Amino acid sequence: MVWRGKGSVSPSKLALRLLTRIPKWWSERFTVRVLADSGFDSDEFIDGVHNLGFHGVIGSRSDRVIGPGKQLSDLCCKGSKVQFKACKTPVYASWFKLKRARKEHVWRYVISTQAADGETIRRWGRSRWRIEAFFKTLKFRFGLDQFGQRTVRGAFRFIILGLLAFALAFWEALETVVDWALLDWGLVACAAADELVPEIQALDAQRTLDRLRPILEARGSTC
């Protein structure tokens, strides 16, 4: 399901539709916890997740009103129970510092529909950022941004190929990376491709050379 922009079904409703497709036996055997960013911080989504029998861990804006003249940012105790004005489901709030680029830190607030202490909610909230970082790595370094499949089988094949590429690059990183804090997945992926499929790399380079040869010859260059 893809959001089509203003005037179409909201992202929250689309997300809830997807959640209704989760097999019932998942809920019977496991605790289903839905991690979502602040873009889904709506009363409709919070109540919807709760009504489906799932636990929601959702990023929230610091200026969300929790009482007369009081906002989330005014809380002093992590794990506090709060009630949004138009939301039927009570939530529990916590917050943490998130490291950004250039070593800057920003405060992030997170709410949980499941009662828990502040440290547990904080840990749940931080886990979403690790998942998002992994997804962005797959998307921009391992081809998921080229996704254009129109069938379920095609989608599974494309995702599996992306995960396989990541796994091979990760294996390469285990042998070559010294400082993981400075890891560049793009360089690691290129090194893995050079090591594992040099023939394909050479073929791709030859195609590029063939494409540029007429331009180079017109300029009097040699290759």
* pLDDT, tens digit (0-9, with 9 covering 90-100), for 105-116: 888 999 999 999
Are residues 118 and 161 part of one domain?
no
Number of domain units in the chain = 2
Q: Is 88 exposed, middle or buried (0-12, 13-18, 19+ CB in 10 A)?
A: exposed
Are residues 118 and 23 part of one domain?
yes
Are residues 119 and 20 part of one domain?
yes
Residue 105 domain-assigned (yes or no):
yes
Q: How far apart (Å, rounded) are the C-alpha atoms in residues 223 and 218? A: 12
Q: Which ranges constitute the DSSP H helices of the chain?
A: 11-19, 24-29, 43-51, 118-141, 152-176, 185-196, 198-218
Are residues 98 and 206 part of one domain?
no
pTM score of the predicted model: 0.69
Residue 132 domain-assigned (yes or no):
no
Query: 66: pLDDT confidence band, cut at 50, 70 and 90?
Result: confident
The dihedrals phi and psi of 98, each to the nearest 5 degrees, come to -115, 125
Q: What is the pLDDT of residues 10-65, one digit of tens each?
A: 888 889 998 999 988 988 899 899 999 888 989 999 999 999 999 999 999 989 98
Cα distances (angstroms) measured from residue 7 to each of 11, 62, 152: 11, 27, 27
Kindly state the average pLDDT of the residues 72-100: 89
Predicted pLDDT of residue 131:
85
Asked if residues 137 and 167 have their Cβ atoms less than 8 Å apart, the reply is: no
Predicted pLDDT of residue 222:
60
Domain of residue 174 covers: 144-218
Are residues 162 and 76 part of one domain?
no
Residue 157 domain-assigned (yes or no):
yes
Residue 2 domain-assigned (yes or no):
no
Tokens 């602040």, residue?
38
- Nearest CA among 193, 188, 186, 168 for reference residue 178: 188
Residue 33 domain-assigned (yes or no):
yes
Are residues 156 and 121 part of one domain?
no
Q: How far apart (Å, rounded) are the C-alpha atoms in residues 157 and 163? A: 10
- Neighbour order of strands in the sheet with 80-82: 33-36, 55-60, 105-112, 91-99, 80-82
What is the SS3 assignment for 58?
A: strand
Are residues 65 and 24 part of one domain?
yes
Query: 94: pLDDT confidence band, cut at 50, 70 and 90?
Result: very high
Written as six digits, the tokens of 172 are 């390469």
